[in-house]
């Protein structure tokens, strides 16, 4: 239910929103970007409680989606489901998932005086700020996708983040719903420790997708309860799989739904997890199963997340690759295809994380061993080229490595090397993905 806002709060809120909308109009009119962050930053100066005042107006409640990988795709799919059910939804669809971005997204759906009339708000939230926004937002549902090592120069280790999550979520009221990944030991343990909130789990039960061995880039293969090495029956992706602890008995919780009964929305096993997360959340919100199933075949990916474009008559697929686990999975997609040309774009800007040493935890050997053409670009093109060169251990390599610092030229070179009947795969970090899309579509997203 929407809470009434005091008159003085309403006046300040209205002023903040009016200023923010003016800033949005100016930025977009001048084509300076998507205005997904700046309006929130300015409005927050006028009304510091902006996030709280907006959140409490959402009719049925706010849904927070948090995790290292999959936030944008899961959020977008859940929005598709809710809108098919007939609900009005506010959503930070540009992926601006820090506090200013959350406020900007909510203000997009208000009128000029700050009145917000939507049924749900789906907010993708950066894993580092989740504990900070729980109190002002008081979410109806929190979707905990996964935790991997990502941008250690900003966040720190997985265990540190999970403990902060658990401590903050435990303070929320009992009616809060938590949807947690059973296959991720850290997230599963977090869910098991929540005694007051309602917890539902999602995960895979398809052993045909087990990896042959635990990958090189894994983060949490030790018991979150006692620290002993976990015993895995099988691994699906990084440290996610079916496990038990031989020391203390900690084990994976049973998922709420049977994964084998649900098709996935996009290519890649990681998108099966995104599908299951959104489906479980939708079921917890009492959405009709027929509505959920109807949304799957028509789902369109968010920009840069398995997005497909046609450029100069050739098919291009962009697979965001921003950390070891995500990049290993996009490499798996590439190597399982018959396509022979790949463009890798590595940046080290603030949104990417300035420490690019993570590329040495990526199994680039698989990409090099299959042969074909690898084009490398980005701010740290030579770092990626060096990593690929060290991955080439064959006496006579079938892999052609091309380094091109200029991104536009790199894209043109990659397209030239892509046969007409094949798809060019582009594996960029976050800011590199934005740059790639601007070159390909002429549109800037910020």
With CA atoms as reference, report the closest residue to 41 among 57, 25, 28, 24: 24
DSSP at 295: H
Could you write out the DSSP letters of every residue in 109-125?
A: TB-TT--B--SEEEEEE
Structure tokens belonging to residue 154: 């900003």
User: In this structure, are strands 240-244 and 231-237 parallel, antiparallel, or unpaired?
Assistant: antiparallel
- Taking phi first (over 0 means left), then psi (-120 to 50 degrees means alpha), and beta for anything else, what does residue 312 get? left
Architecture of domain 305-441: Alpha-Beta Complex (3.90)
Spans of the chain below 50 pLDDT: 1-2, 151-155, 446
Q: Do residues 21 and 113 make contact, with C-beta atoms less than 8 angstroms apart?
A: no
pLDDT of the residue at 337: 94
pLDDT of the residue at 5: 67
Burial class (CB in 10 A: 0-12, 13-18, 19+), 165: buried
pLDDT tens digits for range 404-430: 999 999 999 999 999 999 999 999 999
With CA atoms as reference, report the closest residue to 325 among 220, 215, 189: 215
Q: Do residues 426 and 376 make contact, with C-beta atoms less than 8 angstroms apart?
A: no
Burial class (CB in 10 A: 0-12, 13-18, 19+), 286: exposed
- Residue for token digits 């706010």? 62
Phi, psi torsion values for 200, nearest 5 degrees: -125, 145
User: How many other CB atoms are there within 10 angstroms of residue 93's CB atom?
Assistant: 19
165 CB-near residues (< 8 Å, 6+ apart):
66, 127, 130, 131, 144, 190
- Residue for token digits 């998108």? 271
159 CB-near residues (< 8 Å, 6+ apart):
186, 220, 224
C-alpha span between 47 and 66 (Å, rounded): 26
pLDDT tens digits for range 313-333: 999 999 999 999 899 999 999
Domain ranges of the chain: 7-205+258-295, 305-441
With CA atoms as reference, report the closest residue to 72 among 301, 330, 345: 301
DSSP at 180: E
Q: b/e string for 247-283 if b means 16 or more Cβ within 10 A?
A: eeebbbbebbbebeebebbbbbbbbbbbbbbbbbbbb
pLDDT of the residue at 396: 67
Q: Do residues 334 and 273 make contact, with C-beta atoms less than 8 angstroms apart?
A: no
C-alpha span between 168 and 197 (Å, rounded): 12
pLDDT of the residue at 152: 46
C-alpha span between 228 and 354 (Å, rounded): 32
Indicate the CATH number for domain 7-205+258-295: 3.40.1190.10
Burial class (CB in 10 A: 0-12, 13-18, 19+), 63: buried
> CA distances (Å), 200 to each of 119, 188, 282, in order?
22, 10, 11
What is the SS3 assignment for 256?
Answer: coil
User: How many other CB atoms are there within 10 angstroms of residue 49's CB atom?
Assistant: 15
> CA distances (Å), 408 to each of 92, 155, 260, 419, in order?
29, 32, 42, 19
| pTM, full prediction | 0.89
> CA distances (Å), 373 to each of 306, 369, 370, 400, in order?
20, 11, 10, 5
Structure tokens belonging to residue 157: 């280790």
Burial class (CB in 10 A: 0-12, 13-18, 19+), 136: middle
With CA atoms as reference, report the closest residue to 187 among 233, 138, 130: 130
Burial class (CB in 10 A: 0-12, 13-18, 19+), 363: middle
Burial class (CB in 10 A: 0-12, 13-18, 19+), 383: middle
């Amino acid at each position: 239910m929407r809470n009434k806002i005091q008159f003085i709060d309403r006046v300040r809120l209205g002023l903040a929103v009016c200023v923010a909308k003016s800033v949005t109009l100016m930025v977009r009119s001048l084509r300076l970007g998507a205005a997904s962050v700046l309006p929130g930053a300015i409005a927050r100066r006028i009304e510091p409680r902006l996030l709280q005042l907006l959140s409490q107006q959402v009719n049925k409640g706010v849904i927070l989606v948090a995790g290292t990988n999959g936030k944008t795709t899961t959020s977008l799919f859940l929005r598709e489901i809710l809108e098919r059910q007939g609900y009005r939804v506010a959503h930070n669809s540009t992926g601006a998932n820090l506090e200013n971005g959350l406020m900007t997204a909510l203000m997009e759906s208000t009128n000029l005086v700050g009145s917000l009339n939507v049924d749900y708000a789906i907010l993708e939230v950066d894993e580092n700020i989740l504990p900070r926004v729980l109190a002002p937002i008081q979410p109806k549902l929190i979707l905990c996708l996964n935790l991997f090592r990502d941008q250690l120069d900003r966040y720190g280790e997985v265990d540190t983040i999970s403990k902060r999550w658990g401590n903050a979520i435990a303070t929320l009221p009992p009616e809060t719903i938590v949807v947690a990944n059973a296959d991720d030991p850290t997230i599963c343990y977090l869910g098991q420790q929540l005694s007051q909130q309602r917890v539902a789990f999602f995960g895979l039960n398809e052993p045909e997708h087990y990896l042959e061995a635990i990958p090189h880039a894994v983060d949490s293969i030790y018991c979150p309860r006692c620290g002993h090495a976990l015993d895995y029956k099988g691994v699906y992706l990084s440290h996610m799989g079916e496990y038990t602890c031989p020391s203390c008995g900690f084990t994976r919780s049973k998922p709420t739904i049977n994964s084998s009964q649900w098709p996935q929305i996009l290519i890649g096993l990681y998108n099966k997890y995104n599908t299951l997360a959104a489906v479980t959340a939708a079921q917890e919100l009492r959405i009709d199963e027929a509505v959920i199933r109807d949304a799957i075949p028509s789902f369109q990916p968010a920009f840069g997340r398995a997005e497909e474009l046609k450029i100069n008559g050739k098919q291009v697929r962009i697979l965001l690759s921003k950390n070891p686990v995500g990049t290993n999975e996009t490499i798996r997609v590439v190597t399982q295809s018959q396509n022979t040309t790949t463009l890798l774009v590595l940046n080290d800007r603030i949104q990417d994380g300035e420490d690019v040493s993570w590329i040495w935890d990526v199994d680039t050997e698989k990409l090099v061993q299959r042969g074909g053409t690898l084009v490398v670009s980005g701010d740290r093109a030579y770092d990626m080229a060096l990593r690929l060169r060290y991955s080439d251990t064959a006496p006579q390599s079938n892999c052609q490595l091309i380094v091109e610092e200029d991104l536009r030229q790199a894209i043109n070179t990659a397209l030239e090397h892509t046969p007409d009947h094949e798809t060019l795969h582009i594996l960029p970090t976050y800011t590199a993905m934005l740059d790639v899309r601007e070159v390909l579509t002429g549109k800037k997203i910020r």
